[in-house]
Amino acid sequence: MKLINVVDAEDTKIKKYIANNLHPLYSNLRSIVLKYVGVDSLMEEIFNKLGNVQEVFLTGDFANGIETPFIDLVLVGDIDRDYLHQLVERAEQLLHKKIRMAIYSAEEFHLKLFEGIQHVSIWKEQD
């Protein structure tokens, strides 16, 4: 179905798999991943109240499909940091996981930061 692409690493014999974000079922797969992580029901409300959030990425072990006690997020935009910390405290209690974050302004963020790092976009500002 070409829903998942294989990425061959030249220096190892390990294959990595990534979701094909151009596939018509990508949004459904993304929804399943978010439900697995447990943040799907919180995202819409949270990101709309945080200020001008342009994009949020899931990185780390969860982005690789590995269960872990941590959720690693990269947020891009003009974020209300005080409100974010309040929300993170509540979310950590609900999810029983620690949330680690990196926050970038739109000017300082570039996708090159993710070179060699698995990441999944879990929120993008509607144009």
Residue 122: the pLDDT is: 80
Question: What average pLDDT does the segment 110-123 reach?
Answer: 86
CB count within 10 Å of CB 77 equals 19
- Domain spans of the chain? 39-124
- CA neighbours within 13 Å on the CB side: how many for 73? 23
For residue 41, is pLDDT > 90? no
Spatial separation of the C-alpha atoms in residues 118 and 35, rounded to whole Å: 19
Residue 42: the pLDDT is: 61
pTM greater than 0.85: no
Non-local (6+) Cβ contacts of 97 within 8 A are 38, 68, 69, 70, 71
CATH topology of domain 39-124: Beta Polymerase; domain 2 (3.30.460)
> Which whole-number Å values give the CA distances from 37 to 60, 69, 80, in the listed order?
12, 11, 23
In tens, the pLDDT along 55-102 reads: 989 998 888 778 889 999 999 999 999 999 998 898 888 888 999 999
Look-up of token digits 């993170």: 88
As a whole number, the mean pLDDT across the chain is: 82
Q: What is the percent of the chain where pLDDT is above 70? A: 86
